[in-house]
Amino acid sequence: MEILPLGRTTFGNPANAGNVLSKEDANALLREWVKNEKLQLHMRQVGHLMRCWAAENEKLDEAGQWRWELAGLLHDADWDLWPELHCRKIIEELERLQVDPEIIRAIASHGPRYFGVEPESNMDKMLYAFDELSGLVHAYSLMRPDGYAGMDVKGVKKRLKEKSFAANVSREDIQDACMRAGIAQDELIGFVVANQLQH
């Protein structure tokens, strides 16, 4: 399926800076739009990683952590029902709900090769970085007898090199995202392995 570039690079209204959805509203939107449980889990995992990064590396308070989590939580919200409108539809919805433009922009730049929006802020860059890699790490956890427990960076790197493993995960995007974020791939893998969603 072809995903069309968004055709614009500014999103939301600056007057809405600081506006977020409540956890209840964000979860309601997620449940209403995303029926596919695997996709829901992926979005929650990315949201969790974003929250952890915001806390540990950006030193943000609870409100700041939620802004990062929200971007991750909703980044693929339209993929299930309107794949051909990914991520146009969720951007329009968040604009309608008057959400902080920084959050909308992060979602709009989570696939620069597809959407034509370059990740600029740290939030943009980390969402892009966590998206593909967390998918591969999750696939790896499913083939391990102990799941995430005892997983190490070396094992993930092995799977990364195996092109046939989780073949839909773009190794190119992971490399590109690390470069843009200025993070060594090992460090990013270590962070994803160490900060898994407990459920």
Q: Could you give the maximum distance between any two Cα atoms of the chain, in Å?
A: 50
Q: How far is the CB of 18 from Fe ion (least distance, A)?
A: 25
| Alpha helix stretches (DSSP H) within the chain | 23-33, 37-56, 62-74, 88-96, 101-108, 112-115, 122-143, 153-161, 171-181, 185-194
Alpha carbons 29 and 23: distance in angstroms, whole number: 10
- For Fe ion, the closer of residues 76 and 100 by Cβ is 76
Q: Whole-number minimum distance, CB 103 to Fe ion, in Å? A: 15
Residue keyed to tokens 């029926």: 35
**Which one, 76 or 173, has the nearer CB to Fe ion?**
76
CA 180 to chain centroid, in Å, comes to: 15
Among 20, 26, 69, 76, binds Fe ion (CB under 5 A): 76
Toward Fe ion, which CB reaches closer, 13 or 197? 197
The dihedrals phi and psi of 163, each to the nearest 5 degrees, come to -65, -25
* 116/112 Cα distance (integer angstroms): 5
Helix (H, G, I), strand (E, B) or coil at 64: helix
87-126 residues near Fe ion, rule: CB under 5 A: none
| Residue closer to Fe ion (CB basis): 38 or 157 | 38
Q: Which CB sits closer to Fe ion, 42 or 67?
A: 42
- Interface with Fe ion: number of residues (CB under 5 A): 2
3-class DSSP assignment, residue 63: helix
Query: Least distance in Å: CB of 42 to Fe ion?
Result: 6
- Beta carbon of residue 39, minimum distance to Fe ion (angstroms, whole number): 8
Q: Is 173 in the site for Fe ion (CB under 5 A)?
A: no
Only segment of 4-12, 56-64, 68-76, 165-173 that touches Fe ion (CB under 5 A): 68-76
Exactly one of 33, 131, 133, 151 binds Fe ion (CB under 5 A); that residue is 131
| Residues engaged in binding Fe ion (CB under 5 A) | 76, 131
